[in-house]
Each structure stands twice: as structure tokens, then as C-alpha cells.
Chains A and B, each alone.
Chain A
Amino acid sequence: MVSKIVFVLVFFLGMCGVVWFKRFQTSRFIRLYAVKKGIEEVKCLSFILSGIDIDEKTKEKIRNDSLEYATRFKQLKGEAHIPAGVFGRNTKARKKKKG
């Protein structure tokens, strides 16, 4: 007969494993997704900066921050791939876009 305490502990460890794995997987995916969006923001930034009335020093600071963001994305892209179908609902839409 399975000991009750052993059963509860195995079940508990299984739950912790699922929580940890899903947190890890989702956070990595969302981080990469956010940085990817950052690239698009860099493109828009030059347009926004050209239209607003702030000094060159601040503009330069914002540009540098965004460039750092973009560089980090390239580094991350090389190190880890975005797992396909993490958000199941978006997979079909993404495939359709590619086609």
C-alpha cells in the first residue's frame, strides 16, 4: 500500500515542478517577446523624438537606452530560441501570417 505521506509529498513535488517549469518557460518567452517588441519601438522612437521639443542630451539618452535594448535582443536570440506554441491560441495566427 502506498504511504499517504509519500503520496502527498510526491504530488506536492509534482505540483512544484509544474509551477516552476511553467513559470520559467513563460517568463523566458514573454521576456523575449517584449524585447522583440523593443526593436519595433526603436524604429518608432526616431519618429517620435523628431517631433518633440526636448534637448539633444535627453534624446541621446533615450536613443542609447533603446539601442542597448536592441543589442540585448540580438544576444538573447542567439542564446535561446522562442518555444513554439507556448501560447497555443497564437500559434495558428503566427503560422498564417508567415504563409
Chain B
Amino acid sequence: MEGILKLGRKRKAKHYSSNFVGLLLFLLVAVIIAPLIHEYFHALVLAFYGCEYNFVLNFTPESGFFATIKTLCALNKEQTILYLGAGVMGNIILSAMFITGGWLTRKENIFLSNLLTYSGFGFLSDPMFYMFANKGDLVNILNLLGCSERIWLLPLIGVLLVLFVFAYIWFHVEYNMKCYYRMLKNVNKIKKFKNEVYEHYLENVKSFGSFGTHESFYFLEDNLYSRRNKY
């Protein structure tokens, strides 16, 4: 019984801290890690094509981390599109992996699930920023494809992504809260049982022996279990 209560307290602390730590991790990923990964994906594609390049990493408050990459070789149109899209696509793939991981671990480990989900959204914030920007990789890709008049599509996709993120968080938090209250209810039930009935039962056993009291103990226990299954 003590073990169950200890586990309950541990889970309660985990639940409280997971949202807070997750949101902090989101900031860390969105401001530092995702932009860095974005730039390194560009470099990775250039390395894949065997193209030499100059890579200078910068930071400004307006743009965050960004790299100035000078290619020292000629790339054709398809290669340029791949090179420009690598940063955005890399972050989208990483965010999809993290969000899927968060979804799969939501039953086993709520703390890990929250961390994975929020960091996944941190990775997603980088491509989303390019959806709302007037210049950048996605706008350059559209210009290269000759679809510069369809630039209005990007903010539309961005708004849809924002709605997806908020809807996902909405249901994720609802699921978390349901699990948390179910756990809390069981822990409170055990606490009440321990404090009021079980202690009393032990006292009776000590003073009068088990005659008469063990029946009541099992009767009450049966009732508790049957009611728990009902809800």
C-alpha cells in the first residue's frame, strides 16, 4: 500500500513538472536547436552532392540563428531546390518523428511523452516561420519553380499548421488531465481506505482477534472494487 502511494506521489510530481519542462524545452528547441539543424541540413545536401562551400553561422535578434552559405560549385535547378528545401524538410521530418514518439509513449510515460511532443512542436516552429516570411527558402523555391504568384499559399498552409498544433495540444492536455485525475482518484481512495478503514481493522484485530472483522474487511474491499469497475 505504501508503495502504491509513493508511486502516486511520484506520478503527480512528474505530471506537474512535465508541462513546465516541456514548454521550456520548446523555447530551447525553437530558438537554438531547430535553426542550427536547419542550416546543417543545407550543408548536408551540399556535402551529398560533393559541392564545396563556405559556411558562416550568424545570430541576430530578428532572425535568430542563420548561416551564410556560399557554394563554390554550379548546381542545376533540381539540386538547388533540394538544397533550399533541405532545411525545412529536415525539421518537418524531425518534428513528425518527435510528435509520433510523444503519441506512442503517452500511455507508458507521460513525462517523456510531453517532452517529445513539445520539442516536436519546437522543430515545427522553424518551417512555420518560413511560411509567414516574405523571403527565405520556401519563397526562393516558389520563385525557382516559376510559381511566385502563388506565394499566398504559404501563409495559408502556415495557419493550417498552427491550427493543427493547437488542436493537438488541446486533445493531448485533455488526455493528460483525464489520466492524472484517474490516478489521483485511485490514490485518494487508497489513502482514505488506509487512514480510516484499514487502520481501524488493524486495531480491531489487535484488540479482539480476527473474529467478526475479517468479514467486514472483505465485504468493504469487494464493494470498493466493484464500484471502481463500474466507473
Binding site for B on A (CB under 8 A): 1-5, 7-8, 11-12, 14-16, 18-19, 22-23, 26-27, 30, 34, 37, 41, 44, 48, 51-54, 58, 61-62, 86-87
Contact = CB atoms under 8 A, between A and B. Distances in A.
Contacts of A87: 174
B223 A48 contact: yes
Interface of B: 19, 23, 26-27, 30-31, 35, 61-64, 118, 121, 125, 128-129, 132-135, 162, 165-166, 169-170, 173-174, 177-178, 181, 185, 196-197, 200, 204, 212-213, 215-216, 219-220, 223, 227, 231
A5 B121 contact: no
A22 B61 CA distance: 32
A39 B63 CA distance: 57
Nearest to A37: B231
B192 to A, nearest CB: 8
B215 A53 contact: yes
A61 B173 contact: no
Contacts of B173: 18-19, 22-23, 26
Please provide the 4 A-B residue pairs with the shortest distance between their CB atoms, ordered closest to farther.
Answer: A52-B216, A22-B173, A26-B177, A53-B216
Nearest to B182: A30
17 contacts: A1-B135, A3-B63, A7-B128, A11-B128, A12-B26, A14-B162, A15-B166, A18-B170, A19-B169, A19-B173, A22-B169, A22-B173, A23-B19, A27-B177, A44-B223, A44-B227, A52-B220
B212 A53 contact: yes
A71 B44 CA distance: 66
